[in-house]
Structure 1
């Protein structure tokens, strides 16, 4: 099934949609307003575990309710929230006159979805995009053998335990003190509140609503980023067509606002999410000339998993034959991919 283009607006939208359209910058982003409501419902379900833990639910019943909440959280809203946060970090959702509403997604809802306040924006917008997976990118994949789980585990542990310190140092070295304070302040304030909730309200609800989501989301983010930048051409690691991949025609794109189009996202970071499929179709020859890697029917997490188990033939079969790109057999595709998975040494 093709990936989604611009959403179609109803000729006579309901009154609440008409009100929302007056507040947002781009009418194509109306789905984000709907998603914000769904995420608010999810967050309220999580908060309800606190009074339930103190009054009604005890022992096994509480843990059953916690598992049910996590299933709703993970299957209903998690993936879509993360990509809504991504899109609205690049393109502000609400108009400047109602700018306070722009804080709802990263600061109010973010902590319920494993995103400590401000840190996603600082890492992604302040560091990752300017550095473009090169040596100074704190989440760069270049120096790793990118089809080995042990290398990914080192990569993840560094991110999980050290990123906030490294990110603060990164900004301080570049004279971006405000950005450093935003990142460190957001991380510390989150864990301070979590500690207080665990100590004085209920540790079990705090574990389920705030701690487990952070761990899960950071695992997913590092698996996703690893796959997005797994296949890097050592001769031109700065070229987005040669240091990123694109995944097309997937359920993930249909749920998550075409996030699979990562190559063009690094070419033009402010491209609207609904324009990615059209851009790819219009410029397939350019992707072919660059010898870019494009997969059909896969998403970043399946690419990561296939790399970890060495399923190169499955990856090769999913590769899209691009116009003007070299014609390769399955075996040649495997060797081609392997050549882009090797560590790239930098000074």
Structure 2
């Protein structure tokens, strides 16, 4: 499916991305003015997860065809997400998508034990930050000497993030923490923990066995983030193109890496498996058989 631009917007489907950004700003502002509301707060938590997916997609393929609009979107995501967008490039594109969850991927899930359970998912973001953030800082140091203009732009993102937190905490610490920072941290946890969901017990040695795929209602709500094999094979494809690409690969993906329902997967692997061994996940890296090798163009 070819892209469907609207003016400088690269594809019309990103009107939904822009709507998520606007709704999150409105949800936070409304509660700041009117007070905590459980339904609005729950929506804000969901939107926080959605914004991390938007950030991921925007890092792979910028939303706009104009530099100024992309930079404005970078700042908007930085402020709404609670962390600079620039960190995605060294941590994700230069690391994860270069090494595809293999031995040189510093955030590979099996670095911290080849397991797949609730505790591993909960801890993975904290474990991954330890090797990942030195990559980000080293990349920023190199930029400072080689590309000072880019470094200043990324420094501005850090100032915007830290400045926004400082300003809100000075205005009202309680509101800032509950209504803004907690949803942002919730979303950031999901951003990092998604790596665990998508790759724990997968097999990085085979291109079509590197990632787990979640089908079902998750994808329409979260920009097709569950179709991860197709994303690794076509990292620059727009997220709206992933269902078509997924259909091309699906028959060659190990069935153990195809999950029809994300809630059912969580219930089976994270909640029931500790008490019912038949539901426990098994590592494909340790299995005697793996998914069939793909064609060379994969």
Distance, in Å, in 2 between the alignment partners of 1:213 and 1:309 is: 24
CA separation of 1:34/1:296 partners in 2, compared to 1, >3 Å: closer, same or farther? closer
1:112 touches 1:213 (CA, 8 Å); kept in 2? no
2:209 maps to which of 242, 254, 257: 242
Q: Indicate the SS of the match to 2:104.
A: coil
CA separation of 1:161/1:283 partners in 2, compared to 1, >3 Å: closer, same or farther? closer
The answer on 1:260 being equivalent to 2:226 is yes
Cα distance, 1:204 vs structure 2 = 1.8
1:85 maps to which of 21, 33, 55: 55
1:160 touches 1:218 (CA, 8 Å); kept in 2? no
The answer on 1:298 being equivalent to 2:258 is no
Distance, in Å, in 1 between the alignment partners of 2:155 and 2:134 is: 8
1:275 maps to which residue? 241
CA separation of 1:108/1:281 partners in 2, compared to 1, >3 Å: closer, same or farther? closer
Distance, in Å, in 2 between the alignment partners of 1:32 and 1:201 is: 33
Cα distance, 1:212 vs structure 2 = 0.5
Q: Indicate the SS of the match to 1:118.
A: helix
What runs of 5+ residues in structure 1 fail to find an aligned partner? 10-19, 316-330, 343-347
CA separation of 1:183/1:132 partners in 2, compared to 1, >3 Å: closer, same or farther? farther
CA separation of 1:219/1:294 partners in 2, compared to 1, >3 Å: closer, same or farther? same
1:146 maps to which residue? 115
Cα distance, 1:176 vs structure 2 = 9.2
2:164 maps to which of 184, 193, 199: 193
Q: Indicate the SS of the match to 2:237.
A: coil
Distance, in Å, in 2 between the alignment partners of 1:125 and 1:89 is: 8
2:283 maps to which residue? 339
The answer on 1:101 being equivalent to 2:69 is yes
Cα distance, 1:177 vs structure 2 = 6.5
Calculate the TM-score normalised by the size of structure 1.
0.66
CA separation of 1:262/1:176 partners in 2, compared to 1, >3 Å: closer, same or farther? farther
The answer on 1:158 being equivalent to 2:127 is yes
Cα distance, 1:68 vs structure 2 = 4.6
Structure (1 or 2) with the larger CA radius of gyration: 1
- Pairs aligned (count): 284
What runs of 5+ residues in structure 2 fail to find an aligned partner? 287-298
The answer on 1:229 being equivalent to 2:199 is yes
Distance, in Å, in 2 between the alignment partners of 1:225 and 1:293 is: 17
CA separation of 1:209/1:223 partners in 2, compared to 1, >3 Å: closer, same or farther? same
CA separation of 1:119/1:304 partners in 2, compared to 1, >3 Å: closer, same or farther? farther
CA separation of 1:197/1:74 partners in 2, compared to 1, >3 Å: closer, same or farther? closer
* 1:120-174 CA-partner distances (Å, limit 9, x unpaired): 3442223321222123323211222322444444433234577434431366589
The answer on 1:44 being equivalent to 2:15 is no
